Amino acid sequence: MTPAGSLLAATGLRKAYGSTYALDDADFSIHAGEVVAVMGPSGSGKSTLLHCLAGIVVPDSGTITYAGRELTAMNDGERSALRRSDFGFVFQFGRLVPELTCVENVALPLRLTGVKRKEAERTSLHWMEQLQVDDLARKRPGEVSGGQGQRVAVARALVTAPRVIFADEPTGALDSLNGELVMQLLTESARAANTAVVLVTHETRVAAYSDREIVVRDGRSRDMERFV
């Protein structure tokens, strides 16, 4: 049963690769504006859970509901459209396009939806200012530090005003000081915009920025709020 008021929820998810279950009856839920940390050891299934929730991977069974719509019933085109309009992504390595300037990288999701360049860059500069990297607008990714580049990536995730951000080990490639700054700015910006954040991490210091923790082990999920 989908928890009342959830923006995104999954029940009974199973996903196997060959004879190995990456997910085995996993559940998940998140509300608008909430930050939920998905924790677990390497190979536990937490990244597979994120990929299923984002519509990148289709589970073998189970149900995912987003804003009252069944994500698991959508076709590839519908899920792709949803990722462009409603979902934002932050990866361990920013995955910025090296040939583009930082502001062009942030504006890219808007440009792909048909927004004109000047308007897209104006919106992008607003988010770059929020993430304290607006002074890097005309630099290319190779000219900025890892921490700066990751903040540019966070601005890119926020630029389309998504309802959910999926952050997969967003500080994994950063030192502790830059990691703390990225997490502070990511969570503050998301909460201010009432954006939900699904945060995959194995670090307790990163999970401390969340409102709630879900632990995945051997493909099964456990909401730690119930065990406090």
Residue 159 has a pLDDT of 95
Eight-class DSSP state of 40: -
Distance between CA atoms of residues 214 and 40, nearest Å: 9
State yes or no: pLDDT of 125 exceeds 90.
yes
> What confidence score (pLDDT) does residue 64 get?
97
Summarised one tens digit per residue, pLDDT across range 131-173 is 999 999 999 999 999 999 999 999 999 999 999 999 999 998 8
Residue 224's pLDDT band (boundaries 50, 70, 90)?
confident
Four-point Cα dihedral 50, 55, 57, 59, nearest 10? 90
Torsion of CA 103, 108, 113, 118, to 10 degrees: 30
Domain boundaries, the chain: 1-86+202-223
Q: Report the alpha-carbon distance of residue 76 to residue 193 in Å, rounded.
A: 28
Tens digit of each residue's pLDDT (9 = 90 or more) over 12-55: 999 999 999 999 999 999 999 999 999 998 888 999 999 999 99
CATH of domain 1-86+202-223: 3.40.50.300
The pTM for the full model equals: 0.91
Using the predicted structure, report yes or no on whether residue 182 has a pLDDT greater than 70.
yes
- DSSP secondary structure letter of residue 104: H
Please report the pLDDT score of residue 160 as a whole number.
94
pLDDT, one tens digit per residue, over 65-87 is 999 999 999 999 999 999 989 99
Express as a percent the part of the chain with pLDDT over 70: 96
| pLDDT(227) > 60 | no
Is 1's pLDDT higher than 70? no
Kindly tell me if the per-residue pLDDT of 226 is higher than 50.
no
| DSSP state string for 142-198 | GGS-HHHHHHHHHHHHHTT--SEEEEESTTTTS-HHHHHHHHHHHHHHHHHTT-EEE
Cα separation, 52 vs 146, whole angstroms: 28
